[in-house]
Amino acid sequence: MTESAAELHVRKSGFPPGPPRRTGVELEWLLIDPNDPAHPLSPPRLAAAADAVRLLPLRSALTVEPGGQLELSSPPAASLMRCVDAVDADLRLVRGRLRPLGLALAGYGLNPWQSPRRVVHSPRYAAMEAHFDRGGSAGRFMMAGTASTQICLDSGEREPGPLGQGRRWQLAHLLGAVLTATFANSPLQMGSPTGLRSTRQAVWAALDAGLAPAGAFADPAAAWAAHALDAPVMFIRTEQAPWITPRGLTFREWLRGAVPGLHPGLDDLDCHLSTLFPPVRPRGYLELRMIDAQPGADGWVVPLAVTATLFDDPAAAETAYRAVKQLAERAGTGPAPRNPLWRAAVRHGLADPELREVAEVCFRAALEALPRRGVSPAVREAVARFADRYVARGRCPADDLLDTWKEQHP
């Protein structure tokens, strides 16, 4: 495979053109014993829970993450409500299967109590851990201690406009900071406050694999392709474990023959792309990865409904874009999530006045558009309650966790 062929593949696979039609969501959950949430579950108990859930007739794909977190990835849905209904039905099955085992799903962006512990053993996760360990502990916390609500939306049309790829890409990276602040839900680590509202996003920001392409707004497909080829190779798969974990080797250098006797093919490139985790990841659609896992049985519905509406309803998308454009100067030229705008979102949540102001505009636009999108009264009411409880008061779910911690530690 040549460099030009590799670049073309990354561009085409990341940004297929077309009008936005589908909605998806990926929900990661921590598993806890509700009678003793802070107590770590044994690996056999986590494995038994995963085995039990695998037997269910789920429409969503089930993945067990390195720390035993469960992830449900919905199939692409033709509408927001079809996505909500399908995932809600799956979650009811999962919770019903876990209840007799004395277990429950918990929505936290970062495990508030425990140090990371990998319980899923595979050559891939072992190689990832070895790679991340060279840079400190953030990689282990990311792999084994984080959980998120990931929104998946079509990448958009080639033509300019509210639903064009360039506009949606820029909206994702500016609105992404607002979503981080609004739904921040990970202020605790190892039982104590970190000083951040979204410690999960700070963990991702510490990893080079979690950085967005710089200067990507003019041509997102070209910027993503260059970013991917110049990113370090996390591992090289071999027939026997452990896999090779090179130091400082970019995929472009690998293409140019830097590893004698091992030239990468298309499957190696696709594997490499799966090890890049920017806050907005092109995968044939846009995977928005910046939202913490949410509290409550249906807390995930609000970020899904708001985000999908702000992207896919033309009028709401235009309003959101105009609102977030004022944030571009504050973001500067640095890549998300390390630029000043994203750092403010991570630290302050909606206590940041500017982020709160933009969030209020975006929630109003979403609430106005939800009826046009055929969204049920129950979902509209959930969004309105969230707006009243958090956005209008400059708060986020992390503030509730901090209030509880302060009550317990006077």
Q: What is the pLDDT of residues 158-213, one digit of tens each?
A: 888 888 999 999 999 999 999 999 999 999 999 999 999 999 999 999 999 999 99
- pLDDT surpassing 90 at residue 365: yes
Q: What is the pLDDT of residue 160?
A: 81
Q: What percent of the chain has pLDDT over 70?
A: 100
pTM of the prediction?
A: 0.97
- Dihedral angle at the C-alpha atoms of 374, 82, 65, 168, nearest 10 degrees? -50
Phi first, then psi: what are they for 265, rounded to 5°? -115, -170
Rounded Cα distance between 270 and 259, Å, is 18
Q: What is the pLDDT of residue 215?
A: 67
> Residue 44 has which token pair?
């056999």
Provide the CB-side half-sphere exposure for 96 (13 A, CA). 10
Residue of 161, 217, 225, 199 lying closest to 15 (CA atoms): 225
Neighbours of 199 (CB within 10 A): 27
- pLDDT surpassing 90 at residue 57: yes
Which sign does the torsion angle of CA 291, 292, 295, 300 carry? positive
Q: What is the pLDDT of residue 49?
A: 98
> Taking residues 97-124, what's their average pLDDT?
97
Q: What is the pLDDT of residue 266?
A: 97
263 band by pLDDT with thresholds 50, 70 and 90:
very high
Q: 3-class DSSP state for residue 132? A: helix
Rounded Cα distance between 91 and 396, Å, is 24
**Strand 70-73 to strand 23-32: parallel, antiparallel, or no bridges (unpaired)?**
antiparallel
Rounded Cα distance between 232 and 276, Å, is 9
Q: 3-class DSSP state for residue 7? A: helix
Neighbours of 65 (CB within 10 A): 20
> Taking residues 120-146, what's their average pLDDT?
97
DSSP 293: P
